[in-house]
Chain A
């Protein structure tokens, strides 16, 4: 498996650390349901998903990868810092 880091180009998956679904952190007072959803509940799609990876032994960038969980195709990868803005 190879991931196209926006900074380093295509790299082996072994350089990356996986975190999971790319979600927005709720406000501290968003309530129990919002926090439960952020931390625990997952769409867990069989298909396209947006998820966070960390180019740990590469450039150190957190990236948002668009990936298909059925085929492992990865049509997109952007810097998390830019995606978050």
Chain B
């Protein structure tokens, strides 16, 4: 219920929203949880395993119970914390993991079967009969498990990522964080202050304590106003720092759009920040922990600090007759604040015999809560003390088992926290994350004054590291009470007492795990699933550890903790992977002929990052094969044009350019004459083939290397490695010029005619022999012409500055048409090269040697080169290796297919008999049958033999004759003619 005059929302606007279809009104500034509590709703969720009715436990992102689904359709968000979700007009929230309704959930039957569902029960059963696991048990378990549901539809929202840099990152804007940011900012440092909440101030917003004579929240507002006006400060609200990474990099999630209706699709829902900070202050505060007792999961039982937060910040009392159960002084403040607000406090139960007494409410010293009743909402609790058991009617119980510092980020680089007996809690280990200094409650300093003090000190230390003089400041006065606690983890007794609320792990489960020798804290966690729920054990790990320590007769420090790993709070995949959806996964590279190809209806297919045309359908053609066959015939019979700009082009210049090429290619280039081109083979240092291509000598000290499209980047890196790391003494420069040139293959008997139509000085018969190159002028534009051929035809490659690529391509096609030619795509290119036995990365797939592809002769004897030594290993020169051959069908079955394996005729198609496989296959319109390139054991020695091709997957079998891999024009007359 809303308490008039309480809280910080003031005269806020009314906001209408719904929960499970029921309409509610809250105030602007409410979370869904505070608004529902104000509306009298206590039941907000169901637990994971037993489907127990649950209410809100806390008031922050660590909430394990009040998880809801927000929105509908593709935009719906499962597992949103009601304690974080701000309400806005039109917000639709619904409960989850229940059927048919939150109030009546059939799977709560599980709760009755709880004795059989103890820790690890599933490891011991569901094994018979064998086939039932996939068919019966697993589907049943899977349906029952899980919390919310994804929509199953593509994410419709925008997410983004960004980078930020600062001198000091302050994580958390409570008293310690505000003080640290203030000191650093006044000293001139670039400060980012990031806070998870929608409003900065931390616990100052939830408490009634004063700072410097004014209300804590007012002091916070004053500091924030000052910081907000400074150019060197960036305030990031709704931003959770979720991970600490190397060299001062932090990941942070900003909730940009969750708190408002989505008016603009351009507005990202979330932004994932990579913040690089030279120093950081961790001021993440602390989380209150519950105490385990029988049925301590009833809706209405929450942390005492959460009760204060709802009361003091949102002006809501979660109950009408509130009780408090504590083992420390802090819990008593809840009772005091409630009384001050006029709420009835039905008693404070304190397990300590020396607990402070009060005039305003009854204190049960040395007493414990040992039971709670009220299935869908708390009705009463049972108290046990030396005087015996008694019942207290109450609809809300605030529990304080002490506070756990939020030290999670300090563990992200593997540091283990330290146990402090005086506060019965873990604190960050010093130096846990380089450059990160903990301050305030996350460091175990729980009084307001100590927080301010530590925040200022941490800032001063950071400033000193940054070489900045701290500006003067006064620490304001604040409460500095000692924190008095006597640990109480679990109240002994019958029944189930919850530790991990969401995963339904009870004290009994932990004890049973210990009895089964899952005594290591990691074993216990994995066996019971303790701490593996959406809160990652924030509410329960320390208590569970204490129970385990007790069960195994060890101390807590000796028992150790599990590891906290990023992210601190769960982060949407869409945020971490922002930009990846759709086409954003990788840049798209378009050739200059892209538009013209698309206009002609060519399907564009991915080739690395590039797009290349598959084929160019002509009117009346019904499929790719028809177009492909026509294009092949066109090249063989007239002329074809193909954009080959995607091949890597590397400009290599300098006195040692020849030496570099000799070293990276197996064959020699220093002897190549200017104006000539040579084919080169490149090995990796392990002796296997890396890439191939042609290199032209443009001048005495100037070469132009061509790489395959796929390996362009790798080759560039390799050349730089060879130069910088192996031969830095060489005077050579290596520059990529791939993008400078639009380059077109012009292939076929009429290629010279087509080229000559464009050249300002036409080529004459006898000029430009095969493998010649040089500068030419195309319609007044400086260009380069290479007499090279991948198709096996008389062919050229013509390169012009890329700005003219589109224009030249269109012109070439227009003129080719007049000669009976036209464009050809990747399909025809592939057929043409298979006919000629030319290899691509289908053959040089990383496991083949020069010998395997019949190029052993290309490894020059007279010089060293990369890969030469290792290529000589016995296993790489074994003639029994699978080596390149051609195949053609020799039996009744005429189909060959890539990916099929080869066997001796009559042999079973099993692994032990496998002799090779097909890498490339195509129908050759030139030859009128299918042809294939394959790797076959002892291949070249077996020309003329018959082998059996089997493709189990597509049920294709054929007898094939082993032939020379050059199917067409093996003498090369056409290419030279």
- Known A-B contacts A39-B686, A56-B717; the reply to A62 vs B870 at CB < 8 A is no
How far, in whole Å, are A39 and B873 apart by their CA atoms in the complex?
13
Is the beta-carbon distance between B870 and A39 smaller than 8 angstroms? Answer: yes
Is the beta-carbon distance between A2 and B246 smaller than 8 angstroms? Answer: yes
- In the complex, chain B residues whose CB is within 8 Å of the CB of A79: 724
Is the beta-carbon distance between B864 and A28 smaller than 8 angstroms? Answer: yes
Is the beta-carbon distance between B245 and A62 smaller than 8 angstroms? Answer: no
- Known A-B contacts A35-B869, A71-B413; the reply to A1 vs B247 at CB < 8 A is yes
Q: Which residue of B lies closest to A83 (CB)?
A: B725
Interface size, chain A (Cβ < 8 Å):
31
- In the complex, chain B residues whose CB is within 8 Å of the CB of A32: 873
Is the beta-carbon distance between A19 and B870 smaller than 8 angstroms? Answer: no
- In the complex, chain B residues whose CB is within 8 Å of the CB of A82: 728
How far, in whole Å, are A1 and B250 apart by their CA atoms in the complex?
10
Q: Which residue of B lies closest to A40 (CB)?
A: B686
The one of A1, A13, A54, A72 in contact with B721, judged by C-beta atoms closer than 8 angstroms, is A54
Residue in A52, A54, A82 whose Cβ sees the most chain B Cβ within 10 Å: A54
- Known A-B contacts A35-B870, A84-B725; the reply to A54 vs B717 at CB < 8 A is yes
How far, in whole Å, are A13 and B864 apart by their CA atoms in the complex?
34
Is the beta-carbon distance between A19 and B246 smaller than 8 angstroms? Answer: no
Is the beta-carbon distance between B720 and A72 smaller than 8 angstroms? Answer: no
Is the beta-carbon distance between A60 and B720 smaller than 8 angstroms? Answer: yes
Q: Which residue of B lies closest to A64 (CB)?
A: B725
Instruction: Verify if B695 is at the interface (C-beta below 8 Å from A).
Output: no
Least CB distance from A71 to B in Å reads 7
How far, in whole Å, are A45 and B456 apart by their CA atoms in the complex?
40
The one of B249, B729, B870, B873 in contact with A1, judged by C-beta atoms closer than 8 angstroms, is B249
The one of A3, A10, A13, A28 in contact with B868, judged by C-beta atoms closer than 8 angstroms, is A28
A 49-85 contacts with B by CB, 8 A: 52, 54, 56, 60-62, 71-74, 79-82, 84-85
Instruction: Verify if B231 is at the interface (C-beta below 8 Å from A).
Output: no
- Known A-B contacts A35-B869, A35-B870; the reply to A81 vs B249 at CB < 8 A is no
How far, in whole Å, are A72 and B869 apart by their CA atoms in the complex?
34
Least CB distance from A48 to B in Å reads 16
Q: Which residue of B lies closest to A31 (CB)?
A: B869
Q: Which residue of B lies closest to A74 (CB)?
A: B247
- In the complex, chain A residues whose CB is within 8 Å of the CB of B717: 17, 54, 56
- Known A-B contacts A39-B686, A62-B720, A62-B721; the reply to A25 vs B245 at CB < 8 A is no
Is the beta-carbon distance between B248 and A61 smaller than 8 angstroms? Answer: no
Is the beta-carbon distance between A73 and B685 smaller than 8 angstroms? Answer: no
Q: Which residue of A lies closest to B736 (CB)?
A: A60
Instruction: Verify if B276 is at the interface (C-beta below 8 Å from A).
Output: yes
Is the beta-carbon distance between B724 and A72 smaller than 8 angstroms? Answer: no
- Known A-B contacts A35-B870, A62-B725; the reply to A73 vs B245 at CB < 8 A is no
How far, in whole Å, are A25 and B867 apart by their CA atoms in the complex?
11
Per-residue 0/1 for B274-288: is the Cβ within 8 Å of any A Cβ (1 yes, 0 no)? 101000000000000
- In the complex, chain B residues whose CB is within 8 Å of the CB of A13: 246
Per-residue 0/1 for B724-746: is the Cβ within 8 Å of any A Cβ (1 yes, 0 no)? 11101100000000000000000
B 216-248 contacts with A by CB, 8 A: 245-248
- In the complex, chain B residues whose CB is within 8 Å of the CB of A39: 685-686, 870
Least CB distance from A82 to B in Å reads 8
Instruction: Verify if B774 is at the interface (C-beta below 8 Å from A).
Output: no
Is the beta-carbon distance between B247 and A52 smaller than 8 angstroms? Answer: no
Instruction: Verify if B675 is at the interface (C-beta below 8 Å from A).
Output: no
Is the beta-carbon distance between A52 and B249 smaller than 8 angstroms? Answer: no
Instruction: Verify if B434 is at the interface (C-beta below 8 Å from A).
Output: yes
Is the beta-carbon distance between A81 and B864 smaller than 8 angstroms? Answer: no
- In the complex, chain B residues whose CB is within 8 Å of the CB of A74: 247
How far, in whole Å, are A2 and B434 apart by their CA atoms in the complex?
13
Is the beta-carbon distance between A62 and B869 smaller than 8 angstroms? Answer: no
Least CB distance from B388 to A in Å reads 57
Is the beta-carbon distance between A73 and B434 smaller than 8 angstroms? Answer: yes
- In the complex, chain B residues whose CB is within 8 Å of the CB of A12: 163, 249, 274, 276
How far, in whole Å, are A78 and B520 apart by their CA atoms in the complex?
44
Is the beta-carbon distance between A81 and B870 smaller than 8 angstroms? Answer: no
Q: Which residue of B lies closest to A82 (CB)?
A: B728
Residue in B274, B724, B728 whose Cβ sees the most chain A Cβ within 10 Å: B724
The one of A17, A56, A80 in contact with B724, judged by C-beta atoms closer than 8 angstroms, is A80
How far, in whole Å, are A47 and B413 apart by their CA atoms in the complex?
15
- In the complex, chain A residues whose CB is within 8 Å of the CB of B163: 12
- Known A-B contacts A10-B247, A35-B869, A73-B434; the reply to A2 vs B276 at CB < 8 A is yes
Least CB distance from B863 to A in Å reads 9
Least CB distance from B92 to A in Å reads 39
- In the complex, chain B residues whose CB is within 8 Å of the CB of A72: 246-247
- In the complex, chain A residues whose CB is within 8 Å of the CB of B247: 1-3, 10, 72, 74
- Known A-B contacts A2-B247, A17-B717, A39-B685; the reply to A52 vs B725 at CB < 8 A is yes
- In the complex, chain A residues whose CB is within 8 Å of the CB of B276: 2, 12
Is the beta-carbon distance between B728 and A85 smaller than 8 angstroms? Answer: yes
- In the complex, chain B residues whose CB is within 8 Å of the CB of A25: 726
B 334-373 contacts with A by CB, 8 A: none
How far, in whole Å, are A3 and B849 apart by their CA atoms in the complex?
36
How far, in whole Å, are A17 and B868 apart by their CA atoms in the complex?
25
How far, in whole Å, are A73 and B723 apart by their CA atoms in the complex?
28
- In the complex, chain B residues whose CB is within 8 Å of the CB of A35: 869-870
Least CB distance from A4 to B in Å reads 9
Least CB distance from A15 to B in Å reads 12
How far, in whole Å, are A40 and B869 apart by their CA atoms in the complex?
14
Top 6 A-B pairs, shortest CB-CB distance: A2-B247, A81-B728, A1-B246, A62-B724, A72-B246, A81-B724
Show 12 residue pairs from A and B whose CB-CB distance is below 8 angstroms, ordered by the A residue: A2-B276, A12-B163, A22-B725, A25-B726, A26-B869, A52-B725, A54-B721, A61-B724, A62-B720, A79-B724, A81-B724, A81-B725
Since A1-B246, A2-B246, A73-B434 are in contact, a sample of 7 more A-B pairs with Cβ atoms closer than 8 Å, ordered by chain A residue number, is A12-B276, A13-B246, A39-B870, A62-B721, A74-B247, A79-B724, A80-B724
Q: Which residues of A contact B (CB under 8 A)?
A: 1-3, 10, 12-13, 17, 19, 22, 25-26, 28, 32, 35, 39, 52, 54, 56, 60-62, 71-74, 79-82, 84-85
Q: Which residues of B contact A (CB under 8 A)?
A: 163, 245-249, 274, 276, 413, 434, 685-686, 717, 720-721, 723-726, 728-729, 864, 868-870, 873
